[in-house]
């Protein structure tokens, strides 16, 4: 597939890596059905999978009368069908994502573009929402590899700004999601209210949450000691503080520990987790995520 778009964010080298990721993802997914997650249901045209006991309200047309003749039990025939996987990327577009080298927001947009392309190439449905304290912009769910041009244009036009309220953003996202599926939150998780509630809300909404935790080395490298003015990246408010050597060491230790804390919390609740450091090339990161399995299948 040829690409016509090229800019600093999605330059020609990046677009060529997308094609490489598509080819490699095919090898990783070899033996699996593209775009499929197997679900069990009743209905015509489905390959038989198993029986379950009849319950009031079930469609009697799917009763297995041959089984009833042998067992004298009312059993329903269940079939299995490969269903399209819907993937929603909730991209943190708050002001804290402007920090980092390169900027966490630019890195996050490239990661979303790469994963979206792999998903579209594997016949999944992909939608994107840019979030801060709400849903600032959204791209409706669609499928087909040609849709990547729309995805890239949508991502290219986004900018980061505003305060973070990921729980509020998820609450505003859920009523407008046309179908459940994977919900991948791509964020630095710098939320004054904490990172836990957004994922719990996605679980309660019937989604499979995933966390792509965007980090930068500067997050764990507070500058200097002595009298400093600390500025909030989202509000612009400054505060004068004194930072001694021991306080600085404690801040660094807590910042270094933060990804491990989030990972442990997520995995304990069946939520997928992968760290996405800005210094790691996007294709290396995406291939690592794909090889772990679970995000795109």
Distance CA 285, CA 119 (A): 15
What region, left, alpha or beta, does residue 167 occupy, with left being phi > 0 and alpha being psi -120 to 50 degrees?
alpha
Per the structure block, which two tokens stand in for 140? 């409706």
Could you list the residue range(s) of the whole structural domain that residue 180 is in? Answer: 12-32+86-292
Per the structure block, which two tokens stand in for 137? 């912009």
> So what's the pLDDT on residue 293?
65
Q: Is 1 within the bounds of a domain? A: no
Domain boundary, last residue among 83, 101, 119: 83
Q: Is 4 within the bounds of a domain? A: no
Q: For 40-181, where are the alpha helices, taking DSSP H only?
A: 65-71, 104-121, 148-156, 166-173
> So what's the pLDDT on residue 285?
92
95/44 same-domain check: no
58/45 same-domain check: yes
Q: Which stretches in the chain have pLDDT values below 70?
A: 1-7, 28-50, 56-61, 78-84, 222, 232, 235-236, 293-294, 296-297
28/59 same-domain check: no
CA distances to 46, 47, 48, 74, 128 from 64, in Å: 14, 14, 11, 7, 43
Cβ(107)–Cβ(214) under 8 Å?
yes
> So what's the pLDDT on residue 48?
54
Distance CA 77, CA 178 (A): 28
């Amino acid at each position: 597939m040829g690409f016509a778009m090229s800019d600093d964010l999605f330059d020609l080298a990046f677009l060529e890596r997308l094609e490489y990721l598509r080819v490699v993802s095919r090898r990783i997914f070899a033996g699996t059905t593209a775009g499929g997650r197997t679900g069990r249901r009743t209905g015509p045209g489905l390959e038989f999978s198993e029986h379950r006991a009849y319950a009031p309200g079930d469609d009697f047309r799917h009763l297995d009368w041959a089984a009833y003749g042998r067992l004298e039990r009312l059993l329903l025939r269940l079939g299995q069908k490969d269903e399209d996987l819907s993937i929603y990327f909730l991209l943190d577009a708050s002001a804290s994502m402007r920090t980092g080298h390169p900027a966490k927001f630019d890195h996050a947009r490239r990661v979303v573009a790469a994963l979206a392309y792999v998903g579209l190439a594997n016949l999944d449905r992909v939608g994107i929402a840019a979030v801060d304290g709400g849903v600032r912009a959204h791209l409706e769910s669609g499928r087909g590899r040609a849709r990547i041009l729309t995805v890239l244009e949508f991502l290219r036009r986004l900018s980061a700004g505003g305060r973070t309220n990921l729980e509020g953003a998820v609450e505003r996202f859920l009523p407008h999601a046309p179908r459940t599926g994977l919900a991948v939150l791509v964020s630095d998780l710098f939320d004054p209210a904490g990172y836990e509630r957004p994922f719990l809300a996605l679980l309660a909404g019937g989604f499979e949450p995933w966390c792509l935790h965007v980090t930068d080395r500067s997050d764990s490298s507070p500058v200097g000691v002595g009298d400093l003015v600390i500025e909030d990246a989202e509000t612009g408010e400054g505060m004068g503080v004194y930072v001694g050597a021991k306080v600085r060491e404690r801040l660094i230790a807590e910042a270094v520990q933060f990804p491990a804390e989030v990972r442990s919390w997520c995995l304990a609740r069946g939520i997928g987790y992968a760290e996405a450091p800005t210094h790691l090339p996007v294709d290396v990161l995406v291939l690592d995520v794909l090889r772990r399995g679970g995000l795109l299948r």
